[in-house]
């Protein structure tokens, strides 16, 4: 356990050196500044609330999400970009030899790196979301603590994608393939499969095609649902009505990480 923590801690150090934190802090500050400014100029909540039959709370949260969603999206894209080099750098000649010569198992090494990357994103996303949340809460004196739960859904989304980055980092020793596949899953595969499964599949007659879509939908992680529907529902305080996307995605994460470790255990450096 101590070994894992050492690797985790020094991953934070690495992220700090790569200016990941500074980039996030700039984004967070800009966002909070923008939120404060706009909220002071116009009462958008009032405008929006007319659209929600006067449900002020729902309008408030929706506006809050309107600010937070694009920023967290950028946050995830940035996190993928900055964490993609973690594994390849670790696997560089002269570095990995030395790590493996220490009394640390290969499982611990990968687990430590995984937790390190996730922790970096957790901290940064938390700062961002808490900042925006404070700006809104002070302005409207509405203290919706449920909103803070989305820190976890967004970090979880990253964790899933990061497991893919780790797998391809180990396989290729370079950062580009993992990064590209993570972007592909996040931006294209997941939203597309969601649309296929819930909007198109019903219209199909061919049962093989239907089955294939089903399979792909359940196999691939549901990052767009987690970042979208589930996050919104949590922010509104409605909880999670269907755990399936979370559980199947968790399964994907564990599988990917498991395969990564299995491959890494056999790899020579």
- Give me the residues that bind other proteins (CB under 8 A), please: 2-3, 6-7, 10, 13-14, 17-18, 89, 92-105, 266, 268-269
| Whole-angstrom distance, CA of residue 251 vs CA of residue 226 | 14
Q: Which is nearer to other proteins, 46 or 102 (CB)?
A: 102
Tell me how far, at minimum, the Cβ of 3 lies from other proteins, in Å.
6
CB atoms within 10 A of CB 206: 8
Which helix (H) or strand (E) segment holds residue 58: the answer is: helix 56-83
Q: Which is nearer to other proteins, 49 or 85 (CB)?
A: 85
Q: Which is nearer to other proteins, 9 or 152 (CB)?
A: 9
Tell me how far, at minimum, the Cβ of 67 lies from other proteins, in Å.
34
With beta carbons less than 8 A apart as the criterion, state whether 27 and 33 touch.
no
| Whole-angstrom distance, CA of residue 39 vs CA of residue 34 | 8
Tell me how far, at minimum, the Cβ of 9 lies from other proteins, in Å.
8
Tell me how far, at minimum, the Cβ of 221 lies from other proteins, in Å.
30
For residue 188, give the DSSP letter: I
With beta carbons less than 8 A apart as the criterion, state whether 122 and 22 touch.
no
Q: Which is nearer to other proteins, 199 or 266 (CB)?
A: 266
Q: Which is nearer to other proteins, 98 or 205 (CB)?
A: 98
Q: Which is nearer to other proteins, 41 or 98 (CB)?
A: 98
With beta carbons less than 8 A apart as the criterion, state whether 71 and 231 touch.
no
Tell me how far, at minimum, the Cβ of 162 lies from other proteins, in Å.
19
Tell me how far, at minimum, the Cβ of 135 lies from other proteins, in Å.
33
Token pair of 160 as six digits = 């899933």
Dihedral sign of CA atoms 103, 109, 111, 113 in order: positive
| Whole-angstrom distance, CA of residue 19 vs CA of residue 81 | 12
């Amino acid at each position: 356990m101590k070994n894992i923590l050492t690797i985790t801690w020094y991953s934070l150090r690495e992220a700090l050196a790569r200016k990941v934190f500074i980039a996030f802090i700039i984004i967070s500050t800009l966002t909070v500044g923008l939120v404060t400014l706009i909220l002071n100029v116009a009462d958008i909540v009032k405008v929006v609330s007319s659209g929600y039959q006067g449900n002020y709370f729902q309008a408030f949260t929706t506006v809050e999400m309107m600010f937070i969603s694009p920023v967290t999206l950028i946050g995830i894209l940035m996190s993928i970009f900055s964490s993609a080099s973690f594994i390849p750098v670790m696997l560089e000649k002269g570095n990995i030899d030395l790590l493996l010569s220490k009394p640390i198992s290969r499982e611990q090494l990968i687990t430590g790196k995984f937790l390190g990357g996730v922790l970096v994103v957790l901290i940064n996303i938390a700062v961002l979301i808490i900042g925006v949340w404070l700006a809104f809460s002070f302005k409207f004196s509405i203290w919706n603590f449920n909103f803070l739960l989305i820190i976890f859904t967004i970090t979880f989304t990253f964790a899933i994608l990061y497991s893919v980055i780790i797998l391809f980092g180990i396989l290729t020793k370079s950062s580009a393939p993992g990064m590209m596949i993570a972007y592909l899953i996040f931006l294209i595969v997941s939203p597309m499969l969601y649309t296929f499964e819930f909007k198109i599949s019903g219209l199909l007659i061919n049962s093989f095609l239907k089955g294939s879509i089903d399979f792909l939908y359940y196999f691939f992680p549901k990052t767009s649902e987690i970042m979208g529907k589930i996050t919104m529902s949590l922010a509104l305080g409605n909880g999670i009505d269907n755990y399936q996307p979370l559980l199947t995605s968790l399964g994907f994460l564990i599988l990917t990480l498991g395969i990564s470790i299995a491959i890494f255990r056999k790899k020579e450096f």
